[in-house]
Amino acid sequence: MNLAFLGCAMIIVFMALIMAKKLSPFTSLILVPIVFGLLAGY
C-alpha cells in the first residue's frame, strides 16, 4: 500500500476515535500506529 495514503488514513482514524470518545488520546496514540504498521507490513 502507499505509505502516504496510510499516513493520512492513520491521522483520520486517530482523530475520529478521539472525537467520538471511543479511545483516550493516550491509548489511541499507542494502538493506531501499531495497527497501521501491521497493515503496512512492518
pLDDT in tens, 1-42: 688 999 999 999 999 999 998 888 899 999 999 999 998 888
Grid cell of 19 as nine digits: 472525537
Sign of CA dihedral 36, 10, 28, 26: positive
Domain locations in the chain as residue ranges: 3-40
Residues 7 and 41: beta-carbon distance below 8 Å: no
User: pTM score, two decimals?
Assistant: 0.78
Residues 32 and 10: beta-carbon distance below 8 Å: yes
Residues 17 and 32: beta-carbon distance below 8 Å: yes
